[in-house]
Structure 1
Amino acid sequence: MYKVRMRFSKKDFMIFISHLDLARVMERALRRADVPLCFTQGFNPHPKISFATALALGVSSDGEYVDIEIEEKIDLNILKEKINKELPEGIHIIQCQYIDVKSKPLMAVIEYSTYIVRCVLADDVNEDKLNALIKDFMKNKEIIIHKIVKKKNKTREKEINIRPFIRNLELLNKEDCNCIFKMTLATGSKGNLKPEVLIEQLKDRMKISILLDSIRVHRLGLYSIKDERLIEPLEIGR
């Protein structure tokens, strides 16, 4: 038995399919490509395929990951080519890597995501002033949001400090009222912060006139942490 970790992109019309539909598309492509998948035991065996954290609807990505377990070793270039022939336009395998069969699942190792966020300002702001506002925003030790939590048919409002979930925020580019931000945010079981939530807080706290309906999000990659350094999933478990 061998384990293969694959990085893939999700773009174009595929950004509007759910994570469940993505899993079905990937499984169908693997079967059509005659990949010798390993299956679980029991009355309802299914192929051993596991994804990293789900991508929100409408978000494109160059850095999604899936692990598959196969019964026999295959040349990775041939494997990638065979799967890509069966995948629909908008989903494309970028890279494959054999990893240790005993390595932790993707969901257990992912801690951060890096995003590019494009948005439009209602009122133009000087680039230096915008950078200063971002710097001041990042100086906050607490950034409290209120979230409605439902448990046992009861709802309550919960305060969450999202500041520990923000590793990095910077302005990459600004042309007139068009802005491009880059951010690295917590993702996974230890914490999760959506880029849209951060942009909303940036707008409300720093009074930046961001048009929220103009936000477009693209995920660059998923990462784990090792010695305070971001590492890609393909580097883990080799």
Structure 2
Amino acid sequence: MPGCCVPGCSNSTAKGFSMRSFPADRERKALWIANIGTPNWEPKANSRICEVHFSKEMWERVRCDGKQKLKCNAVPTIFPFHQLDTNISFDNHDKGENHIDGDNLANDKRSNINLLPISQAYLNASMSTNVEEEIDSKKQCEELRYLLRKSEQTCKKLRSTMKRREEMFNRIIVKSDRYRRILKERLKRLRESNQNYEKLKINLEKIFNKDQIIILSGNDCKWSYETIMRALDLKDTCGNNNKV
């Protein structure tokens, strides 16, 4: 299981700690190495730094799946073992147990002095970037809330319009159904009347001719030649009953 490469840190994935790989960017990678503080050391391909060396400002928000990622400009800044090693070195030097070269100590101090401003500047830039990102995210959230409220209002209006139209269509359907039943009943009565008319017409044609039927129907009609001839024949047949 990979463990933390920071001197004095024994955290590993087996102990439940999350490990982070060194960045591919050369400048950030050099800053990570400088902050670790190990002289003449270069990380290997499998070198990792555990999560405890990164402050809260260096992390993005927790995702829905519970995972959390480092920000693109994150650098490790928490190294409690550095101070512990420095105190031990000074104690040993005061006791005379180990001899420390003055030039090396001066070089270490200069390296530490140069390191702190770089880390602090980078940290300030990171915090400024975080503030800007937070402001942008708040603006985006406000815009999304506004769009959401607007869409909800639009949906409410559409639902109200759909409800009114549905009620109107239902009324039209009810009226159409009522008119259909009325027309169907009228058509039935008309068919019955037509059948009665046809029967009556057939019976009348058996007794009267066409001119007589027209006269009986109340319409003006001129006597046809056929009617006149039949009338004369009927007169001749019956004879003249007038007495001289």
- TM-score range, shorter-chain basis? under 0.3
Larger proportion of strand: 1
TM-score by length of 2: 0.20
Taking structure 1 as the reference length, what is the TM-score of the superposition?
0.20
Which structure has more relative contact order (CA 8 Å, sep 6+)? It is 1
Structure possessing the higher radius of gyration over alpha carbons: 2
User: Which has more helix, going by share of residues?
Assistant: 2
